[in-house]
Amino acid sequence: MEKVVTVNKITPLDYPVLDSIKNRWSPRMFSTKPITDAEVKKLLEAGRWAPSASNIQPWRVIWGIKGTNMYDRIFDCLDEFNQSWAGNSQVLWINAFKKTMEKSDKENFHALHDLGLFMGNVIHQANSMGIAVHQMAGVQFKKAQKEFNFTDDYHVATAVAFGYFGGDPDGLPDDLKKKELKEMRQRKEQDEFAFNGNFQNKNQFLT
């Protein structure tokens, strides 16, 4: 029988927000419940309708379900740290974006922003389905670029792990297990990043 541990994260809000935002977090353990092709397509459909500059939709996704060759190929492109836990997930994918405009070689300065909007939609959809999402900067982007035949006008940006909430924290390295079970969450205060006036460089960082 699968050992399932529920972590009740504490999100100290200054103002009320949607539950789907309040309850979102990025676990490194996941349930063994499979994610189906149809569920992946539902996540992609949510992302598909994200806004983008000039409606260029510069995002590109490579995805694979656990137990398939595609999953293994994506896993092999993760850095060593992320490989220590990402195998717990049921779906892996790689995000890339088109660096240039649709009909010219002019740089699209908003492409990475638009990829973030795409993933915002995906995350909200996933949360509504009980699926957790953990995005990773730690991907060997040059290796992934070659592995999946991306041309030079695309850049591999991130990898993403998906799985239903739950799972066994004992399968994590000790340092990650401690982080996984920590209940209190932390963010910068609003006045550190939002200014009703001129920008202020406070040089404050979370510890």
Q: What residues does each domain of the chain span?
A: 28-174
Cα–Cα distance measured from residue 206 to residue 188, given in angstroms and rounded to the nearest whole number = 7
Task: Report pLDDT for 102.
Answer: 84
Domain boundaries 28-174, CATH class: alpha beta
pTM: 0.92
Task: Report pLDDT for 104.
Answer: 83
Task: Report pLDDT for 6.
Answer: 75
Strands 91-98 and 59-65: antiparallel
CA atoms 57, 23, 85, 175: torsion sign: positive
CB proximity list for 180: less than 8 A, separation 6 or greater? 7, 27, 28, 29, 169, 172
Half-sphere exposure of 92 (CA within 13 A, CB side): 27
| Residue numbers of the chain with a pLDDT score lower than 70 | 1-4, 203-207
Task: Report pLDDT for 204.
Answer: 53
Q: What is the pLDDT of residues 27-54, one digit of tens each?
A: 999 999 999 999 999 999 999 999 999 9
